[in-house]
Amino acid sequence: MIKVGIIGGSGYTGGELIRILLNHPQVEIDFVYSTTRAGKKITSAHGDLLGVTDLAFTGDVNLNVDLVFLCLGHGNSTKFLNENPFSENTKIIDLSNDFRLNDDAVFQGKEFVYGLPELLKADIKKANYIANPGCFATTIQLALLPLAKENKLQDNVHINAVTGSTGAGVSPSATSHFSWRNNNVSWYKPFTHQHLGEIGESLASLQENIGELFFLPNRGNFTRGILATVYTKYEGDLESAKVIFNDFYKDALFTQISEEPIHLKQVVNTNQCHIHLHKHGNTLLVTSAIDNLLKGASGQAVQNMNLMFGFNENEGLNLKAGVF
């Protein structure tokens, strides 16, 4: 058993972490820290856990736990770590974007490893500090990494991806409240989304001189999940592409190549990524789908935890989608 702490436990990613870890046979939740709900029961923020736990949020931090998850807004993890010097024996998994890029990976002498298991599993197993990937970044990288490994990204890549409202966080905003989001779809941050940096660095680690990435993110009128359609020129036939993808993911527990077209309900509430390949002329279309709160955040964080501590990679993550 290991003891873990969660910083920022009242948000969506914190709630999903609590849900998973309460059912993880190798983990005891030592504390769930919240500045806004200290002293209140966990169920005051996460009603889905009513009858599951009597834990309460706390304003105190145990600096000697085995592992701490940072579920803070982007830019706040560095501030929190400066104010809370955890023990050298405490491993850290950060779910913000503070340490994902190469230039930000070393902080206070701690070297953060990028936590995409399908790319860096061996490094994650040896790491003490993990920068958990972004949700869009996870979806898009898993669609493109096999092609980069085989030096097949020789042309520009076009990406259109739609995400649910939970991707914007638990605090209401002009574009996330029900009246605006319901029966509505819109794009945002066209071609400039912050996840492009980490996507580009991962692809560059496998292939030099990739084409330009044109990424158009969209807000969907649903709560959770990301569906990405990615297409680029590809000289081989569809069967050769399937060989490339199946070989790349042959040992990946949570990334599956589907012969049939995929949809979001297959992956929502799971830690799975589903991928489908389609060829049209000289263009290869790769569709990928994940749950933004699980494979795109908390589920992948637990997957990384399992690798770091030598647990079975899928421990606590055998979650089933509800497709009806």
Q: 159 is written with which tokens?
A: 């990406």
CB atoms within 10 A of CB 302: 26
* Tens digits of residue pLDDT in 37-53: 999 999 999 999 999 99
CB atoms within 10 A of CB 26: 16
* Tens digits of residue pLDDT in 259-275: 999 999 999 999 999 99
Residue 13 has a pLDDT of 96
Residue 287 has a pLDDT of 98
Q: 183 is written with which tokens?
A: 């029966």
Q: 95 is written with which tokens?
A: 């779910």
Residue 66 has a pLDDT of 98
Q: What angle do CA 110, 115, 119 make, to 5 degrees?
A: 125
Domains of the chain and CATH, by start = 2-132+297-309 (3.40.50.720), 135-290 (3.30.360.10)
Which residues in the chain come in under a pLDDT of 50?
A: none
The stretches of the chain forming alpha helices (DSSP H) are 12-22, 76-83, 117-126, 135-149, 178-181, 196-204, 238-248, 298-309
> Smallest Cα–Cα separation from 86: which of 107, 114, 72, 102?
107
> Sign of the C-alpha dihedral, residues 182, 185, 189, 194?
positive
Q: What length does the chain have?
A: 324
Q: Which residues, in sequence order, are bridge partners of residue 289?
A: 227, 274
Sheet with 255-258: strands ordered across: 186-187, 213-219, 157-163, 226-233, 283-290, 273-280, 255-258
Global model pTM greater than 0.85: yes
DSSP-based three-state secondary structure for 14 = helix
Nearest 5°: phi and psi at 157? -115, 130
Distance (Å, rounded) from C-alpha 9 to C-alpha 31?
A: 9
Residue 216 has a pLDDT of 98
Residue 320 has a pLDDT of 93
β-pair type (186-187, 157-163): unpaired
Distance (Å, rounded) from C-alpha 118 to C-alpha 129?
A: 17
Q: How far is CA 192 from the centre of its chain?
A: 19
Contact between residue 7 and residue 60 where contact means Cβ atoms under 8 Å apart: no
Q: Which amino acid is at 264?
A: L
* Tens digits of residue pLDDT in 300-320: 999 999 999 999 999 999 999
Residue 176 has a pLDDT of 87
Q: Which of 135, 142, 267, 319 is catalytic?
A: 135
Question: Is residue 273 annotated as a catalytic residue, yes or no?
Answer: no
Q: 155 is written with which tokens?
A: 């042309």
> Smallest Cα–Cα separation from 202: which of 140, 284, 154?
140
Q: Which residues, in sequence order, are bridge partners of residue 2?
A: 27
Which H or E run includes 7?
A: strand 2-7
Q: 20 is written with which tokens?
A: 């998973």
* Tens digits of residue pLDDT in 272-293: 999 999 999 999 999 999 999 9
